[in-house]
Amino acid sequence: MTKLCALSDAEWLHDPALKSVLTALRSSGAEARIAGGAVRDGLLGRPVSDIDIATDQSPEQVIALAKAAGLSVHPTGLEHGTVTVVAGARAARRSFEVTTLRVDVETDGRRAKVEFTDDWSVDAHRRDFTINALYCNENGDVYDLVDGLKDLEQRKIRFVGTPSKRIEEDYLRILRFFRFFAWFGAGEPDPDALAACVKAKARLAKLSRERIRQEFFKLACAPDVVPALGLMIKTGILKPVLPGRFDLEKLENLCQIEEENRLAPDPVRRLRALSKDQSASELQKAFVLSNAETKRLEALHQLPAVSPIFRHAERQTLLYWHGQQAVIDRVLLDWSASSAGADNPEYVALLSDAQGWQRPQMPVGGRDLQAAGIAEGKELGRLLHALEDWWVAGGFKAEKADLMARLAAIR
């Protein structure tokens, strides 16, 4: 059982920017409440960043009231009743998404057509999970219309209403179930929710890869990602997202190493640890990876295994030719695949070397070679590369005079 925090003294709830938005929305006598994730995280004592607001006023009324109060307004999602309101002093301006109470009247598993309402219960019952269907006012009073508080205390991830119906409204909720289970759940998953996810798993193929990527990367960074992914693999739910074989043990080791060494969870690195035989191009296709992310995975493939027995000079050479990010990734992944513990001193030292490395600058460049009478072209490039190889092989110790003498010897 998790003890929930009182919201009345929460610092984020007394933010002047938030208060100005709530005051503006209530100026007509209507209601405005903080909704969803901010309430959930606040009750759990977790940091609160994005704050969403629900109101029984129409989007047009929200715009009018916000402008009347001197606040900036951006109609970011009017078809779904969402308006972005910007408030606060110049140095502390914040954006708040304000959404009119609504009900989904037509869905196709990806998008929804909505109708606005003034019924808070209707709005709560169209949300995905009970722990996300909580509201609070400016005083920290919590409104719970779906038993979300009880589920939050018990760390139970439960769909609002019938699980299959919630999933048919948006198939992404299958992945969201496992994401929230990895972040907030405990014990065994809700059997009705899990059964509904398994039954609808083929529907994941209907989702855009961009939406899948966004949800999967959030899941990948969760504290309990391994049990959640293990459940997805066991039930076949991960297969439509990422076919292939998986290495949960390696991922679990990586998570332990990250935690022990105070490293932030990295979704790309965790994805590589999980994926046993998928190539960089296959992962790029599955998760719409950026060019930089794909190159990062390709660099890992090109880099040889890194061992703590490597001498300092060997480590420096690898860092110079392959780059700091690639070597850090390689160290962590090789460490995860080994029998060494998360506090292994040899691997800790190897990681520390890579983290503290600064790329040295060779003392000569193309202009120096031109000044020595070498014309710009292929020959200059060949000689410059030869000098660089020699300089790196010598441990980066050669100075400009040494390099120019070497140039004279190899011309």
Tokens (6 digits) for 271: 């994805």
Helix (H, G, I), strand (E, B) or coil at 213: helix
pLDDT reported for residue 5: 87
**Upper half-sphere CA count for residue 282 (Cβ side, 13 Å):** 12
List Cβ neighbours of 6 (8 Å cut-off, separation of 6 or more): 140
For the chain, percent of residues with pLDDT exceeding 90: 83
Overall size of the chain counted in residues: 411
Q: Judge whether residue 110 has pLDDT over 70.
A: no
Q: Judge whether residue 90 has pLDDT over 80.
A: no
pLDDT reported for residue 35: 97
Return the sign of the alpha-carbon dihedral for residues 241, 246, 249, 255: negative
Would the CATH topology of 1-154 be identical to that of 156-241?
A: no
Q: Judge whether residue 279 has pLDDT over 70.
A: yes
Confidence of residue 108 (pLDDT cuts 50, 70, 90): low
- Class of the CATH domain delimited by 1-154: alpha beta
Q: Report the amino acid identity of residue 334.
A: D
By the 8 A CB rule, do 83 and 75 touch?
A: yes
Q: Judge whether residue 58 has pLDDT over 70.
A: yes
pLDDT reported for residue 309: 81
- Class of the CATH domain delimited by 156-241: mainly alpha
pLDDT reported for residue 76: 83
pLDDT reported for residue 308: 84
Average pLDDT over residues 178-197: 97
The mean of the pLDDT values for the chain is 93
Span 193-232, pLDDT tens digits: 999 999 999 999 999 999 999 999 999 999 999 999 999 9
SS3 letters for 126-189?
CCCEHHHCEEECCCCCEEECCCHHHHHHHCCCCECCCHHHHHHHECCHHHHHHHHHHHHCCCCC
Interior angle at CA 210, CA 204 and CA 211, nearest 5: 50
Span 294-353, pLDDT tens digits: 999 999 888 888 888 888 888 899 999 999 999 999 999 999 999 999 999 999 999 999
Burial class (CB in 10 A: 0-12, 13-18, 19+), 191: exposed
Every domain of the chain and the residues it spans? 1-154, 156-241, 242-359, 366-410
Average pLDDT over residues 88-105: 87
pLDDT reported for residue 210: 96
Rounded CA separation 232/381 (Å)? 52
Span 36-53, pLDDT tens digits: 999 999 999 999 989 999
Quick one: the chain helix, strand, coil %, rounded to 5? 55, 10, 35
